[in-house]
């Protein structure tokens, strides 16, 4: 675990030692099978050494964002920065960004004892803005985009009043973990109220899952309002359809909320969503359909590798929450999602996971996006933790994935992660040089780092008891 003073002392005072050890030992990691070829002490050392490197990066990520993003003048989290972390001029507040930053601040409270009181302030700062400014006091539910003066923002005149299930899922996710961090009942109540609003307005009573776009009063939008604007811009889908992206993040948020409340309808919906993701969205040989009609008939499209590996983790977590962590189909599909993404989307020459492609052929979007690499890092270590006695391939890929991130995606000069790099790791443009904006919070990489650190420490502890 990372919530102890020893690890923070290492981060503050032992970075040079960590760098030296990394230079000595990490190049050998990829070629070594952890299982069966080392004694328990060597395995423990390797896991802990790697955890130190990830803790170091997590620290730089947090220091880049906090407290810089805290907007004391207008409230909420400022979301427009230049590559060198100078504040941009935009005063926009987007629900996805605001809730992801609230979630990250809550995670720090939960896991970092020495930072708990500092980040308590950041958690309440974000919660108050959601409660006082982004919640629709008349109709309920959260607005999606607005400026600091309270004016709603949209991509066109047709959608600025709309509410959407995708950002609402992150509101539930963030509020659930903010409650875990603070044990404040008013935060839990807002999380439940958000779920109940979405469930009342959006749950599909005929086919299960959730419709995704709503008028301000919660009326479902099943047809485009204008022939020139047929697509829902939030998740690039047709109005009236359902999307993999929204449904998996509802699975994610319902899992988080189910850990802090026994709300009966919520638990029933979580079981329903787990089944839908497992049986409707995920398909053999380990891919996911992206778009669906209301009855879950498929609208053909590409294969998103980042979402595949992320869902392997989310299915594992939701199975725990509903008490079926040993379910063979969930276990098999989670592994298939990772294995098939590696088979089709892994860059054997340069390493790293490409963005998207077909189910049976090589990738056609070959850039390396920051969030895809983060989710793959987490998924590969999850697979190693489960199958290290059987194979060393997941550890080898995990090391290669981290080395790619370290060499090309981390901004070692300014802090944070770059947005995207080319197939060979080169920056495509200055626009990709770590530009924090409304869609790029520290949620994906922050979560991946926290979970990987926890897993590495758990693996190290297990290795000490093997002999």
Query: What whole-number distance in Å separates Cα of residue 133 and Cα of residue 156?
Result: 22
The residue segments making up the domain with residue 193 are: 87-281
Q: Please say if the pLDDT value at position 286 is more than 70.
A: yes
192 in any annotated domain: yes
Report the pLDDT averaged over residues 419-447: 84
- The first and second tokens of residue 372, run together, are 């895809």
User: 414 versus 449: which is more confidently predicted?
Assistant: 449
pLDDT digits (tens, 9 = 90+) for 45-93: 899 999 999 999 999 999 999 999 999 999 999 999 988 899 999 999 9
Is the separation of the CB atoms in 292 and 246 below 8 Å? no
Query: What whole-number distance in Å separates Cα of residue 378 and Cα of residue 376?
Result: 5
Q: Is 364 helix (H, G, I), strand (E, B) or coil?
A: strand
pLDDT value at position 364? 72
Kindly report the CATH number assigned to the domain that includes residue 217. 1.50.10.10
Query: What whole-number distance in Å separates Cα of residue 187 and Cα of residue 177?
Result: 9
Q: 43, 100, 95: which is closest to 66 by C-alpha?
A: 100
Contacts for 318 with CB less than 8 Å, ≥ 6 apart:
251, 252, 254, 255, 270, 273, 274, 277
pLDDT digits (tens, 9 = 90+) for 188-214: 999 999 999 999 999 999 999 999 999
User: How would you label 96-128 residue by residue, b for 16+ Cβ within 10 Å and e otherwise?
Assistant: bbbbbbbbbbbbbbbbbeebeeebbebbbbbbe
Query: What whole-number distance in Å separates Cα of residue 358 and Cα of residue 376?
Result: 18
Q: Please say if the pLDDT value at position 123 is more than 80.
A: yes
pLDDT digits (tens, 9 = 90+) for 387-409: 999 999 999 999 999 999 999 99
pLDDT digits (tens, 9 = 90+) for 233-251: 777 788 999 999 999 999 9
Q: Please say if the pLDDT value at position 117 is more than 70.
A: yes
Residue appearing with tokens 């207008």 = 74
Report the pLDDT averaged over residues 105-126: 97
pLDDT digits (tens, 9 = 90+) for 254-270: 999 999 999 999 999 99
pLDDT value at position 236? 79
With bands split at pLDDT 50, 70 and 90, how would you rate the model's confidence at 216?
A: very high
Angle between helices 165-182 and 185-202 (to 10 degrees): 160
User: 321 versus 8: which is more confidently predicted?
Assistant: 321
With bands split at pLDDT 50, 70 and 90, how would you rate the model's confidence at 12?
A: very low
Number of alpha carbons in the 13 Å side-chain half-sphere of residue 31: 3
3-state SS record for 3-58 = CCHHHHHHHHHCHHHHHHHHHHHHHHHCCCCCCCCCCHHHHHHHHHHHHHHHHHHH
Domain count, the chain: 1
User: 207 versus 357: which is more confidently predicted?
Assistant: 207
With bands split at pLDDT 50, 70 and 90, how would you rate the model's confidence at 428?
A: confident
Number of neighbours of residue 233 by Cβ within 10 angstroms: 15
Contacts for 119 with CB less than 8 Å, ≥ 6 apart:
66, 105, 106, 108, 109, 112
396 in any annotated domain: no
Ranges of beta strands (E only) in 45-203 are 92-94, 145-147, 163-164
Query: What whole-number distance in Å separates Cα of residue 16 and Cα of residue 23?
Result: 11
pLDDT value at position 362? 63
With bands split at pLDDT 50, 70 and 90, how would you rate the model's confidence at 16?
A: very low
Is the separation of the CB atoms in 178 and 106 below 8 Å? yes
Report the pLDDT averaged over residues 1-5: 42
30 in any annotated domain: no
Number of alpha carbons in the 13 Å side-chain half-sphere of residue 265: 10
232 in any annotated domain: yes
Percent of the chain at pLDDT exceeding 70:
88
Percent of the chain at pLDDT exceeding 90:
76
pLDDT digits (tens, 9 = 90+) for 127-161: 999 999 999 999 999 999 999 999 999 877 778 88
pLDDT value at position 135? 98
Is the separation of the CB atoms in 435 and 81 below 8 Å? yes
pLDDT value at position 31? 42
Q: Is the pTM of this model over 0.85?
A: yes
pLDDT value at position 41? 78
pLDDT value at position 436? 67
Number of neighbours of residue 189 by Cβ within 10 angstroms: 13
18 in any annotated domain: no
């Amino acid at each position: 675990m990372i919530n102890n003073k020893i690890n923070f002392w290492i981060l503050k005072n032992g970075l040079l030692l960590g760098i030296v050890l990394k230079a000595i030992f990490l190049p050998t990691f990829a070629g070594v099978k952890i299982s069966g070829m080392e004694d328990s002490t060597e395995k423990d050392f390797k896991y802990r050494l790697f955890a130190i490197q990830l803790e170091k990066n997590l620290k730089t990520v947090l220091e880049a964002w906090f407290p810089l993003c805290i907007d004391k003048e207008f409230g909420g989290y400022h979301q427009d920065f230049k590559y060198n972390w100078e504040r941009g001029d935009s005063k926009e507040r987007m629900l996805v960004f605001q809730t992801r930053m609230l979630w990250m601040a809550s995670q720090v409270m939960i896991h970092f004892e020495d930072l708990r009181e500092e980040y308590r302030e950041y958690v309440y700062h974000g919660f108050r803005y959601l409660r006082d400014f982004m919640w629709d006091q008349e109709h309920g539910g959260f607005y999606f985009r607005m400026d600091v003066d309270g004016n709603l923002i949209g991509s066109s005149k047709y959608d600025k009043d709309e509410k959407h299930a995708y950002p609402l899922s992150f509101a539930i996710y963030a509020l659930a973990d903010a409650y875990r961090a603070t044990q404040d009942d008013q935060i839990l109540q807002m999380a439940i109220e958000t779920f109940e609003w979405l469930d009342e307005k959006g749950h599909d009573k005929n086919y299960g899952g959730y419709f995704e776009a709503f008028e301000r009063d919660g009326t479902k939008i099943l047809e485009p309002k204008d022939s020139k604007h047929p697509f829902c811009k939030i998740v690039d889908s047709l109005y009236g359809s359902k999307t993999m992206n929204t449904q998996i993040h509802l699975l994610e948020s319902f899992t988080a909320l189910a850990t802090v409340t026994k709300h009966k309808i919520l638990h029933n919906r979580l079981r329903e969503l787990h089944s839908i993701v497992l049986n409707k969205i995920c398909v053999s040989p380990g891919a996911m359909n992206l778009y669906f009609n209301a009855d879950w008939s498929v609208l053909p499209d590409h294969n998103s590798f980042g979402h595949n590996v992320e869902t392997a983790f989310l299915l594992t977590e939701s199975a725990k929450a509903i008490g079926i962590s040993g379910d063979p189909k969930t276990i098999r599909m989670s592994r298939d999602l990772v294995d098939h993404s590696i088979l089709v989307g892994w860059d054997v020459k340069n390493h790293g996971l490409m963005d998207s492609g077909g189910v049976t052929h090589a990738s056609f979007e070959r850039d390396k996006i920051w969030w895809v690499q983060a989710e793959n890092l987490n998924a590969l270590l999850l697979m190693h933790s489960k199958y290290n006695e059987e194979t060393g391939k997941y550890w080898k890929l995990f090391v290669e994935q981290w080395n790619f991130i370290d060499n090309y995606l981390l901004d070692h000069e300014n802090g944070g992660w770059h947005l995207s790099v080319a197939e060979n790791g080169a920056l495509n443009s200055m626009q990709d040089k770590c530009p924090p904006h409304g869609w790029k919070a520290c949620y994906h990489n922050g979560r991946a780092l926290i979970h990987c650190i926890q897993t590495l420490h758990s693996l190290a502890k297990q290795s000490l008891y093997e002999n």
